Amino acid sequence: MQLTNRSKVVVKKEMSWAEKLYLPAIFGGMAITFKHMFKKPATVKYPEETREVSQVYRGVHVLKRDEQGRENCTACGLCAVSCPAEAITMEAAERKKGEEHLYREEKYAAKYEINMLRCIFCGLCEEACPKDAIYLTDRIIDSKYTRSGFIYGKDKLVEGVAPEERVDISKRKKKYEFS
Amino acid sequence: MLVAILFKTILIGIIFLVSLGIAAYSTYAERKVAAFMQDRVGPDRAGPFGLLQPIADGVKMFTKEEIIPNASDRILFILGPCVFMLTALMMSAVVPWGKSFEFGGVEFSLQVADINIGILYIMAIASIGVYGIMIGGWASNNKYSLLGAIRASSQMISYELAMGMSIVAIILMTGSLSLREIVDGQMHGHWNVFYQPLGFLIFLICAFAEANRAPFDLAECETELIGGYHTEFSSMKLGLYLFAEYVSMFISSAVISCLYFGGYHFPGIDSLDLPQNIAAIVSVAVLFAKTFFFIFFFMWIRWTIPRFRYDQLMKLGWQILIPLSIINIMATGAWMTFVK
């Protein structure tokens, strides 16, 4: 199957005298490198500028809250089961009286950890989630000095209650509404 | 007499500092040129446009831990980089950097030593340069260092022959071994490169090989030999090796300009009848412009052509360049005898 029309058929023939000199080929190569000196560099000067990413980019996860600021997650464990990299662990707990404003249902995740070094950002966890709780966002993980720094707990994953701390996932959510 | 000695001392100091300064900024230029040719930006964090990068590199080199392997020969291990740097700097002594200045009726020549065998001196010093690599590689007591050193010495010896013979053709044309006379013989645009294109090509290729630059960097060859002769070196000793490479690149660019591109002469400027001191300054600027072009050329080649295989290197040196340079000598001799 021909994918591009740039492929060249290899012919093993004697080189001509001019080709054996190699000088024309060398000058040709030098012309190419000289031309490249005036091309725009492909470099993105991170962190001053960041690369533009897709609107449905799969970056660091967020654990969503509902409109009243209650956590959606019920610690059912479907995300952990679906995770091909086995990056997600959690511990479930029962909601006590007086915690109704914190958790939407009777069961919630007391501990929820994603190992970002294991995660392959495939997005299967958000596909598996029946409670609209976990989504991938367009944020990327920061660099750390230790491996333990890459294990993200609830403190980093759950979005804030205040409206300005909410993470917008409408673009990714739309993706699932179509399918 | 005292004034002359004082002037020469100052001149030596200036040439020393300028060589080191240009070598330092060649490292910056090399990284920038490489970056531009590969559609990258290059160093741009230290200072505006990364201009302080060589200083940062120097500080890094000086503050790194210095390791001398137990199995190495301590004295030779320290001597190696010193010899390499010394020979690289010594070459600058006979290069005529410009026309003479004149103050109060006394003429000050911008050449440290106008010896009448200037070219032989350069060839001799270039040959000694291999000792720096050989000693360093041998003293390291490391197989990769030794392999790099052996490659470097055999390569330099092979290419010196062709280099010397390509210069013979120039000596035939000029009738002098003094660099200043060779430069002055190329006034009014009669550059040697137009009369000796083949000789120039041979000399240029050999200059690349002598400077251990790509495509002839088999002595370092980081993809095969880790670092070649400087594998075991660290801290400023490694810095000296890397630095001396750029010094010798600068000096050989100056020598190429002097031998083939009219040195400090430029067609049109000589006939302007400038006052002597201004003419001297202009001539220095002209030589440096040519030198900088060749430094750029060295880098341009490095980032274009891949490294030779070892057998290709030997074949090119012995079976192609040496016969060609002999033919070049004979053709020049015949032309000088029968035509001129």
Give the domain CATH number at A128. 3.30.70.3270
CA distances from B63 to A93, B26, B57, B82, B239 (A): 55, 21, 10, 19, 11
Contact status, residue A171 vs residue A55, Cβ threshold 8 Å = yes
Q: What predicted TM-score, i.e. pTM, was given to this entire model?
A: 0.79
CA distances from B164 to A31, A62, A66, B185, B260 (A): 30, 72, 84, 20, 14
Residues of chain B with Cβ-Cβ distance to A29 below 8 Å are: 304-305
Q: How many domains does chain B have?
A: 1
Specify the pLDDT at position A82: 93
Chain B CA closest to residue A29: B304
Angstrom distance (rounded) from CA B129 to CA A130:
74
B328-335's contacts with Cβ under 8 Å and 24+ in sequence apart are: B328/B165, B328/B166, B328/B169, B328/B196, B328/B198, B328/B199, B328/B202, B329/B165, B329/B168, B329/B169, B329/B172, B332/B169, B332/B172, B332/B173, B332/B196, B332/B199, B333/B172
User: Which token pair is A127?
Assistant: 């596909």
Walk along chain B (340 residues) and give the pLDDT tens digit of each residue. 787 788 888 888 888 898 888 988 998 999 999 999 998 888 888 888 888 988 898 898 888 888 888 888 888 888 888 888 888 888 888 888 877 777 777 777 777 777 888 888 888 888 888 888 888 888 888 888 888 888 888 888 888 888 888 888 888 888 888 888 888 888 777 888 888 888 899 999 988 888 888 788 877 777 777 777 888 888 888 888 888 889 888 988 988 888 888 878 877 776 777 777 788 888 888 888 999 999 999 999 988 988 888 888 888 888 888 999 999 999 988 888 887 7
Contact B39 A32 (CB under 8 A): no
Residues of chain B with Cβ-Cβ distance to A30 below 8 Å are: 300-301, 304
The DSSP secondary structure of B197-220, one letter per residue, reads HHHHHHHHHHHHHHTT-TTSGGGT
Measure in Å the smallest separation between the Cα of B233 and chain A Cα atoms.
29
Residues of chain B with Cβ-Cβ distance to A45 below 8 Å are: 41, 44
Contact status, residue A158 vs residue A71, Cβ threshold 8 Å = yes
Q: A-B interface: how many C-beta pairs under 8 angstroms?
A: 35
Angstrom distance (rounded) from CA A67 to CA B173:
92
A81 in a structural domain: yes
Helices (H), A37-118: 78-82
A108 in a structural domain: yes
User: Which token pair is B311?
Assistant: 């057998």
Angstrom distance (rounded) from CA B308 to CA B156:
14
Of A33, A34, A41, the CB nearest to B40: A41
Specify the pLDDT at position A119: 92
Q: Each residue of B241-264: b (16+ CB within 10 Å) or e?
A: bbbbbbbbbbbbbbbbbbbbbbbb
Of A29, A30, A43, the CB nearest to B41: A43
A45 touches chain B (CB under 8 A): yes
Domain residues for the domain of B130 are: 2-339
Chain B CA closest to residue A39: B39
Task: Of B212, B209, B203, B282, give the one whose Cα is nearest residue B245.
Answer: B212
CA A159 to chain centre: 17
Q: Rounded to a whole number, what is the largest CA-CA distance in chain B?
A: 64
Q: Mutate which of A23, A32, A33 to disrupt the B interface (most B C-beta within 10 Å)?
A: A33
Instruction: Calculate Rg over the CA atoms of chain B.
Output: 21
CA distances from A160 to A66, A71, A164, B252 (A): 11, 10, 8, 66
Angstrom distance (rounded) from CA B242 to CA B245:
5
A39 in a structural domain: no
B240: phi then psi, degrees, rounded to nearest 5? -60, -45
Of A26, A37, A45, the CB nearest to B36: A37
Q: How many domains does chain A have?
A: 1
Angstrom distance (rounded) from CA B288 to CA B282:
10
A42 touches chain B (CB under 8 A): yes
Residues of chain B with Cβ-Cβ distance to A42 below 8 Å are: 39-40
Contact B38 A34 (CB under 8 A): no
Contact B33 A37 (CB under 8 A): yes
Chain B CA closest to residue A40: B39
Residues of chain A with Cβ-Cβ distance to B41 below 8 Å are: 41, 43, 45
A43 touches chain B (CB under 8 A): yes
Angstrom distance (rounded) from CA B229 to CA B232:
8
Angstrom distance (rounded) from CA B141 to CA A118:
43
Contact status, residue B82 vs residue B240, Cβ threshold 8 Å = yes
User: Which token pair is B316?
Assistant: 């090119």
What residue ranges of chain A have pLDDT lower than 70? 175, 177-179
Contact status, residue A173 vs residue A135, Cβ threshold 8 Å = yes
Contact A33 B303 (CB under 8 A): yes
The yes/no answer to whether this complex scores an ipTM above 0.90 is no
pLDDT digits (tens, 9 = 90+) for A73-84: 999 999 999 999
Specify the pLDDT at position A178: 58
Task: Of B279, B202, B244, B306, give the one whose Cα is nearest residue B92.
Answer: B244
Chain A CA closest to residue B302: A30
Contact A36 B36 (CB under 8 A): yes
Task: Of B42, B46, B54, give the one whose Cα is nearest residue B239.
Answer: B54
A66 in a structural domain: yes
Q: Mutate which of B39, B300, B301, B313 to disrupt the A interface (most A C-beta within 10 Å)?
A: B39
Domain residues for the domain of A155 are: 61-178
Helix A23-36 vs helix B2-37: angle between axes, to the nearest 10 degrees? 80
- Total count of residues recorded for chain A: 179
A149 in a structural domain: yes
A167 in a structural domain: yes
Angstrom distance (rounded) from CA B216 to CA B248:
15
Task: Of B112, B337, B317, B146, give the one whose Cα is nearest residue B231.
Answer: B146
Of A26, A37, A40, the CB nearest to B37: A37
A89 in a structural domain: yes
Contact B304 A42 (CB under 8 A): no
Contact A36 B304 (CB under 8 A): no
Angstrom distance (rounded) from CA A110 to CA A108:
6
Of A30, A39, A40, the CB nearest to B304: A30
Contact A30 B303 (CB under 8 A): no
